[in-house]
Amino acid sequence: ARRLHQEDAEASARMAAHGLALLDELLPGGGHRILTHCNTGSLVSGGEGTAFAVALAAHRAGRLRRLWVDETRPLLQGARLTAYEAARSGMAYTLLTDNAAGSLFAAGEVDAVLIGADRIAADGSVANKVGSYPLAVLARYHHVPFIVVAPVTTVDPSTPDGASIEVEQRPGHEVTEITAPQVPVAGAEAGGGIPVAPLGTTAYNPAFDVTPPELVTAVVTEEGVVSPVTTEALAALCARSRQVTIS
């Protein structure tokens, strides 16, 4: 267990280094304004995370101007977790609702998008927390790099494309209620939520969405950067990673 923990921490550090080098290549001069979604910091890793680790490396190098943190509704991983990690690290950050991202792009306030991934299909399609795909569309329209940071183990060669990824549908109450466990609500069960929609309202609540590879500028892993993102490039990366592991 300790060995796996150490390997994960080392992989996180390598992703951070590769990601920062890519940012400096795409955005010379520093002053990066980075938009991120969901949580990708030390709470999800044995090290300092994936996408968040890149932003943290930019901060430590004096090249991060602002970290824009999506709330990441409905479970608010950005507000509850990423904002906490950014504050703890002394980063300049600002929280925004997911649907405010478009106006942020339109104002020219985003230099790059950095997200993690729950799974990357063989063709480079990226499944990540719902709300990631709209950011990729916005980034493409506004000519902003959309960068995915994830370990090689996230690439799943047995899943050929994005359509083959089964997306979990979460309970509707996550959308129709606001969870406030520390606020007593008369007549509500312990740990229940405060209703914000009429009783009986159905909700569409997918856990993830899938971004096609043509909208992904680069995939950053501990073994290097893949750009452009293609089936062949990902397969070569995975093969190289297996050789490193065996040796």
Strands 208-211 and 126-129: antiparallel
Residue 245 has what pLDDT? Answer: 56
Count of residues making up the chain? 247
Residue with tokens 């942020």: 104
Q: How far is CA 2 from CA 5, 6, 19, in A?
A: 5, 6, 26
Residue 182 has what pLDDT? Answer: 55
What would the two tokens of residue 244 be? Answer: 């490193």
Dihedral sign for Cα 161, 162, 164, 165, please: positive
Local confidence pLDDT in tens for the 247 residues of the chain: 999 999 999 999 999 999 999 999 999 988 999 999 999 999 988 899 999 999 999 999 999 999 999 999 999 999 999 999 999 999 999 999 999 999 999 999 999 999 999 999 999 999 999 999 999 999 999 999 999 999 999 999 999 999 999 999 999 999 999 876 555 555 544 446 889 999 999 999 999 999 999 999 999 999 999 999 999 999 999 998 877 655 4
What would the two tokens of residue 115 be? Answer: 């997200």
Residue 184 has what pLDDT? Answer: 54
- Spatial contact of 25 and 51, defined as CB atoms under 8 Å apart: no
Q: Cα separation of 78 and 58, whole Å?
A: 19
* Residue among 76, 215, 50, 77 at smallest CA distance from 134: 215
Q: Cα separation of 244 and 11, whole Å?
A: 13
Peptide bond into 213 cis (omega under 30): no
65 CA to centre of own chain: 19
- Examine the residue annotation and report whether 118 is marked as an active-site residue of this protein: yes
* Backbone region of residue 138 per phi and psi (left: phi > 0; alpha: psi in -120 to 50; beta: other values): alpha
Q: Cα separation of 210 and 13, whole Å?
A: 26
Q: Check 24, 118, 123, 161 and give the catalytic one.
A: 118
